[in-house]
Amino acid sequence: MTSARRRLFGTDGVRGVVNQYPMTAEFALALGRAVAQHLREEKKNRRPRVVVGKDTRLSGYMLEEAFCAGLLSQGADVFLAGPLPTPGLAFLTTSLRADAGVVISASHNPYHDNGLKIFAADGFKLPDEVEAALENQVADPAFLDRHRPRPDGVGRAERLTDAVGRYVVFLKSTLPRNLSLEGLTLVLDCAHGAAYRTAPMVFEELGAKVHLFGARPDGVNINLGVGSLQPELCVKQVVLAGADLGLALDGDADRVIFVDGRGRLVDGDQIMNICARRLQRLGRLNRSTVAATIMSNLGLEIALGRAGIKLVRTAVGDRHVVERLRRDGLNFGGEQSGHIIFLDYGTTGDGILAALQTLLVMKEEGLTLADLADLMEPLPQVLLNVKAARPREAETNQAVAAQAAKVAARLGDRGRIVLRPSGTEPVVRIMIEGEDLAEITALAEETADLVARELDAEGGL
């Protein structure tokens, strides 16, 4: 009997260090075979069609070749999109009526990591039970061997030379045809990642003056000192150029962090507030509700409430936000980290799309990004990561639970605490927010010390 529990697939596909299991050529080959066989069964042995894209990591060549060999050997036809943002691959999957789409990327991680993320025919990530079934097939090569196609049944591969152009046309189509970005100066940081061609093409074709950097990938510089997790250089460039704003994408361009004309960071919470208010004003915000994660600032909830908008919270990860949107019939949500999801346009977070929709608000209302960002006042927030040998025990340790309860009781309705093990690193994440920065900093450090003692910290904060 097969297990329904996923062991390798996380909230964002399979991810790990390159040339260490599971990010090996052998695993990629096996997973490609399993995906093709699953699709053949689902399509009653009709030849499946799979779109494959990647970011700019050196290991993308190896994993792409291996994964595609697995697909082809098991009878699937492959369309190679080359370097393309993750949301662009999801778009192409539905646009080409493909049976699945695969992105080879580790998003914001450094170059030595990589990952495999699979989209179903509808552009959404695979259900948990399908990912579990794929893992079981990978672990049972004899099953796949029994279903090898005849020599005339192996697949064909075709390179999509217009993949970037198709996606650029789609992105521009989300704006009114008469909208121009002429007169707007922006700094664009592509993180040496998948959007290095797509993003500048979009903004320049719409008329913006673009100061571009982070657009010279060499296979190992993706996310290195640039991108949405390291926006300091973007801030500096906005100030030096006297730009209206800056945009910092991550390696696969499914998230974005903004910099306003004053050189201040504008995060995903503030962008959700800006865009949700517009959708609400136009009567296009389903159920007057936004979905965000438990990490979103309480200030977002307060600001949305003033506009008559309800905030519902999910577990961390854009996958969980999308699941909540679909379950409740909602159409907008995201994460503080910059994953912004417009379900009316796409199936996953899209940094370029989020930037375009924010620029649309600026144009419509005649306001600067700084003005719009000020519509939300974030509460002071402290986030600490505690490296631990047993981070999962944070969910069951009694002393840790008692400390969290004590902090929550002290803050009352003036703030909150979120304490959770990371899903991608051996750390416990502690987030405390409240009205008094000194108070919550002291509480966060006290809590971190206790977590370190209880869970055998390996290296401190």
Which residues are tagged catalytic?
Answer: 107
Distance between CA 288 and CA 149 in Å, rounded? 51
Torsional sign, CA 167, 170, 174, 175: positive
Distance between CA 305 and CA 139 in Å, rounded? 49
Residue position matching structure tokens 């209206």? 244
Q: Is 195 helix (H, G, I), strand (E, B) or coil?
A: coil
Q: Give yes or no for a contact between 200 and 89, defined as CB atoms under 8 angstroms apart.
A: no
Residue 284, token pair as written in the block: 């296009």
Q: How many CA atoms lie within 13 A of 264 on its CB side?
A: 10
Distance between CA 127 and CA 141 in Å, rounded? 22
User: Phi and psi dihedrals of 127, rounded to 5?
Assistant: -65, 155
Residue 68, token pair as written in the block: 């595609």
Reference 35, options 8, 1, 72, 3; nearest CA is 72
Distance of CA 224 to the CA centre of its chain: 18
Q: Give yes or no for a contact between 228 and 218, defined as CB atoms under 8 angstroms apart.
A: no
Distance between CA 178 and CA 161 in Å, rounded? 29
Distance of CA 166 to the CA centre of its chain: 21
> Contacts by 417-420 with C-beta closer than 8 Å and gap 24+?
417/443, 417/447, 418/294, 418/295, 419/394, 419/447, 419/451, 420/294, 420/316, 420/394, 420/395
Residues contacting residue 242 through CB under 8 Å, at least 6 positions apart: 185
